[in-house]
Amino acid sequence: MADISLSEAEKRYIVDGVKLGIRVDGRERLDYRQLEIETGLVSTANGSARVRLGCTDVLITVKMEMEPPPPQQPKDGQIHFFVNCSANAAPEFEGRGGEDLATSLSAMLDRLYSSPLSLDTSRLCVVPGKHVKVLYVDVEILECGGNLFDTVSLGVKAALWATRMPRIYITGEDGGELEFMVSDNPQEVDRVDVSNAPILITHLRITENLTVIDPTPEEECCGPVQVVVGVTPKGLITTTQQLGAGTFAPQTLSASLKVIAFYYHPHHAHTFWECSSLFTLVAASGQFSSKT
């Protein structure tokens, strides 16, 4: 993803560091960097969030529409993801260059939120079979500096948390057509329940049997293969995907998955909180408001 080339000596330094358990910036293998989440920046959207992690910078907006549901799911609201890789983020995104990455990101997000256990879409229903709320989530990648998938998923969760939809009242019926009134009271809003919304965690395979999370662009340069895992706050793994050319030994993969499920589980969460501030932020999503 990132367009940097390292010398053999630098790569060697990074790989040896991971083997010895100390990364170039002093972190251990499973340490996250400090990240910055800001919500409610775009006044024209129902919800928005901007996340910066290292050099990576993404802006996410959520807009709500009322639409008829598909016949097979008459009672479920919908959530759609659109990703745009700005040419400002990296020169190779110019023209149609970022399309592959955008497609894989939006497919990943689609799968992440497809499980009914991660987001209860039935609460987005207004009139079963006729009108449901559809959330359009637009992801704009402003700067691409490593660990993009994690950052985007965090931003989506934050933006959904910050989403405020005006309350809709059914006022009457006119010839089979329902009449609606949309509340213009800023206090009368519906929120999206994100308490079970998942996030993505990327494991980068640096060397045999060793993976790191939250890699810097330099580290991404040393290991071509990553596994992206979607996990809910209850420790449920909703999706996994391997990125890049390369192989994961079965034990490495299962170890990575176990680490994520284990540390993210509320019973064990406190052990992870000590080493990373990220999980405090995500687990208690109420703290998203600290910046706003």
Partner 1 sequence: MLWKCGANVYEYRRERERRFKGDVRRVQAMVGVQEAAHPRLVTPGEVISQDTSFMRGHGTYMEKGVQVASVAGYVTRVNRLITVTPLRQMYQGAVGDTVVGRITRVQTNRWKVDVNSRLDAELRLSNIQLPGGEQRRCNVEDERDMRALLTEGDLVCVEVQKICDDGLLRLAARNIKFGKLSQGTLLAVSPSLIVQDKQRMHDLPCGARVVFGANGYVYITPTVPQEQASTYIVNFEEVPVEVRKTIGRLRNCIKLLAHHSIMISPTSVMTAFDMSIEQEFEIKDLLKPDVMQDVALATVQSMNE
**Site residues (vs partner 1, CB under 8 A):** 5-10, 12-13, 16-17, 20-28, 31, 33-34, 36, 218, 277
51 phi and psi angles, rounded to 5 deg: -125, 135
Residue placing its CB nearer to partner 1 in the complex, 20 or 250: 20
Q: Smallest gap, in angstroms, from Cβ of residue 261 to partner 1? A: 24
182 phi and psi angles, rounded to 5 deg: -100, 125
Q: Smallest gap, in angstroms, from Cβ of residue 159 to partner 1? A: 20
Using an 8 Å Cβ cutoff, are 61 and 40 in contact?
A: no
Residue placing its CB nearer to partner 1 in the complex, 32 or 161: 32
The C-alpha atoms of residue 268 and residue 31 are separated, in whole angstroms, by 16
Residue placing its CB nearer to partner 1 in the complex, 140 or 218: 218
Q: Smallest gap, in angstroms, from Cβ of residue 1 to partner 1? A: 17
Name the residue with tokens 């034990």: 251
Q: Smallest gap, in angstroms, from Cβ of residue 12 to partner 1? A: 6
Q: Which residues contact 92 (CB under 8 A, 6 or more apart)?
A: 3, 98
Residue 247 DSSP label = -
Residue placing its CB nearer to partner 1 in the complex, 212 or 227: 212
4 phi and psi angles, rounded to 5 deg: -135, 145
Residue placing its CB nearer to partner 1 in the complex, 2 or 6: 6
The amino acid that residue 39 corresponds to is T
Q: Smallest gap, in angstroms, from Cβ of residue 277 to partner 1? A: 8
